[in-house]
């Protein structure tokens, strides 16, 4: 994330690597952060990004690198002493004393060095962590227990029914101020279901079972036939043929 691309308020601006740019753009965003009292955390910050050191709510990480140099004209690449003076004047007095002045070449101060000069350590302060808002305990669970049907107490259902009932009521419940009616949760008792079924069977009130479909007629291919009266195909004579062997030499299928 760069210095010029902040996240929505009130999240801090975390500068992972910013190589600088037009000083006028960085001066404008710096004044915005000052008005918002926005926290700015520096990892690597170069050139015009060093204006962040002028903010009251800025911090550096111990392994951070902040690189300083003179401002120059982007067209002719010549040093702009006026803008360079504005950059240098924005730094804390301890940082100015350490640098002495700005040059065309980068001068690097590490986060550890800047912390020793009085800059705040990002790892020593409070950290913003996003999280879900904790809901206040709801009375819907107690209402669900009190509204359970007679003869179906939580004790009869056991621990599992208790957990199911509490989980469902908690999931459906909003905050305590949003409750307009209690939530009713019913849990079926297996023994009661069996008793009801038994009563229906005794009074013949159970619905009849649906009729089964008619049985399919047996296939002709599998119909039982008297195999003793059938000659195999290979023993049947072709029309007009005469048998060569007598009946004494022919074994029928029945004899097999």
* Torsion region of 29: left, alpha or beta (phi above 0 gives left; psi -120 to 50 gives alpha): alpha
Per-residue model confidence (pLDDT) at position 134: 55
pTM, rounded to two decimals = 0.49
227 pLDDT higher than 50: no
Per-residue model confidence (pLDDT) at position 253: 47
- Give the whole-angstrom CA distance, residue 16 versus residue 13: 9
pLDDT band at residue 169 under the 50/70/90 scheme: low
Residues 13 and 41 sit within 8 Å (Cβ to Cβ)? yes
Point out the least confidently predicted range of 127-131, 162-166, 211-215. Answer: 127-131
238 pLDDT higher than 90: no
Per-residue model confidence (pLDDT) at position 193: 60
Place of tokens 């039982």: 224
Element (H, E) at 35: helix 23-36
Class of domain 13-124: alpha beta
pLDDT band at residue 49 under the 50/70/90 scheme: very high
Please state the domain extents for the chain: 13-124, 140-201
DSSP letters spanning 64-122: EEEEE---B-TTT--B-HHHHHHHHHHS-HHHHHHH-S--SS-EEEEHHHHHHTTPEEG
Residues 48 and 87 sit within 8 Å (Cβ to Cβ)? yes
End-to-end Cα separation, the chain, in angstroms: 94
Angle between helices 81-90 and 23-36 (to 10 degrees): 20
> Does 164 or 151 have the greater pLDDT score?
164
110 pLDDT higher than 80: yes
When pLDDT is averaged across residues 202-210 and rounded to a whole number, the result is 66
pLDDT band at residue 240 under the 50/70/90 scheme: confident
When pLDDT is averaged across residues 221-238 and rounded to a whole number, the result is 58
pLDDT per residue as tens digits for the range 51-79: 999 999 999 999 999 999 999 988 888 99
């Amino acid at each position: 994330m760069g210095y010029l691309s902040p996240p929505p308020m009130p999240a801090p601006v975390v500068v992972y690597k910013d190589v600088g740019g037009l000083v006028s753009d960085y001066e404008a965003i710096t004044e915005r952060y000052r008005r918002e009292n926005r926290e700015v955390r520096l990892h690597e910050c170069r050139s015009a990004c060093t204006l962040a050191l002028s903010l009251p709510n800025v911090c550096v990480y111990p392994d951070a690198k902040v690189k300083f140099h003179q401002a120059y004209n982007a067209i002719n690449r010549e040093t702009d002493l006026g803008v360079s003076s504005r950059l240098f004047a924005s730094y804390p007095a301890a940082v100015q004393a350490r640098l002495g002045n700005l040059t065309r070449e980068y001068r690097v101060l590490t986060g550890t060095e800047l912390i020793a000069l009085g800059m705040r350590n990002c790892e020593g302060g409070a950290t913003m962590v996003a999280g879900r808002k904790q809901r206040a305990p709801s009375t819907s669970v107690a209402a669900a227990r009190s509204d359970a049907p007679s003869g179906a107490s939580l004790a009869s259902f056991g621990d599992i029914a208790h957990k199911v009932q509490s989980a469902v009521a908690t999931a459906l419940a909003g905050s305590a101020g949003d409750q307009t009616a209690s939530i009713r949760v019913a849990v079926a008792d297996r023994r009661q279901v069996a008793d009801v079924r038994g009563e229906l069977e005794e009074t013949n009130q159970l619905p009849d079972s649906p009729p089964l479909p008619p049985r399919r007629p047996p296939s002709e291919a599998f119909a039982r036939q008297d195999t003793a009266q059938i000659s195999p195909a290979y023993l049947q004579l072709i029309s007009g043929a005469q048998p060569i062997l007598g009946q004494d030499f022919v074994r029928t299928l029945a004899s097999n």
